[in-house]
Amino acid sequence: MITLEGGEVAKTLPVLRRLWKKLWQYRVDRGQVILLIGGGSILDVGGFAAATWKRGIPFISIPTTLIAQIDAALGGKVGINFRQGKNLIGTFAEAQAVWVWPDFLKTLPPRERRAGWIEALKHSLLHSETLWSQVYQTSFDAVPSVEMLRTLASVKVHIVTQDPYEKLGLRQALNLGHTLGHVWEALSHRTETPLLHGEAVAIGLVQELWLSMQRGHLNQSLWQALITKLRQEKMLLPLPPFTWRQWETILFQDKKRREGQLYLPLLTGIGKWELTPVQPSELQSAVKAYKNLFPA
């Protein structure tokens, strides 16, 4: 058994090197299976170590957080962070199986569980009015039912099976809220109060839906409903301190850039989205609009 500290601190080259050294020490071969137990970060770095050791060791994932059970453990992406970039080093590698035990969620710190509901909120926006309504009416302090977990997980599985290697653009929908969310997550890790992944994505969702609204793709009522829900759940959080130079440095390393152009999945309605080229100036406007939600 190898024990790692959870969170983004696990997704680094030194931790990955430590895992490779252990696999060497234990003489792990391709006829064995590695069991990964933990949140999304542990599954990411552990899966990447397995996928790259001897060109691929089978692994099974047992996600222990809400984000991992409905999102991170599914879809076959593994990797680590590099410098200030999120998941810049990685590959596609499917777990042999994903085993979900809902009672893990009862042991989570309340803040972790609440942050996990943000991915559920994102999934519901991509899926249907029915799922949006169900998630919207659920307290973020709650532990989801088995049926809810199954439904939320199926949203990602459905999208990923249509575009497993991001060749068709369909899988880009899952990045909703994540382009700017990853920027705030990275910037916050320079401070003494880093944001959890879900907390950063909540900020990203508000800003990216605002951009959809400004372009005339999205009804203002949906953006306002999102604001109301996040404020009610105390998940409408202030931005970490930053300069625009720092912000741009991280933004321009985003994996979704193609030939210098950044593309975002902009929501056009619940269950509807378009992969759209955006300019940094538009995203800056979205950031400024978000800051106006926090009057001095």
Which residues are tagged catalytic? Answer: 55, 77, 119, 156, 166, 171, 175, 178, 182, 197
Six-digit token string for 195: 């944001």
Greatest extent of the chain over all pairs of C-alpha atoms, in Å: 60
**Whole-angstrom distance between the N-terminal and C-terminal Cα of the chain?**
50
Amino acid (one-letter) located at 269: G
Q: Reduced to 3 DSSP states, what percent helix, strand and coil does the chain have, rounded to the nearest 5?
A: 55, 15, 30
> Could you give the 3-state DSSP secondary structure of residue 253?
coil
Residue 12 phi/psi, 5° resolution? -130, 160
Quickly count: other Cβ atoms within 10 Å of residue 229's Cβ.
Answer: 18
How many residues does this entry show for the chain?
296
Residue 98 and residue 46: Cα distance in Å, rounded? 14
Q: Which residue has the tokens 């953006």?
A: 223
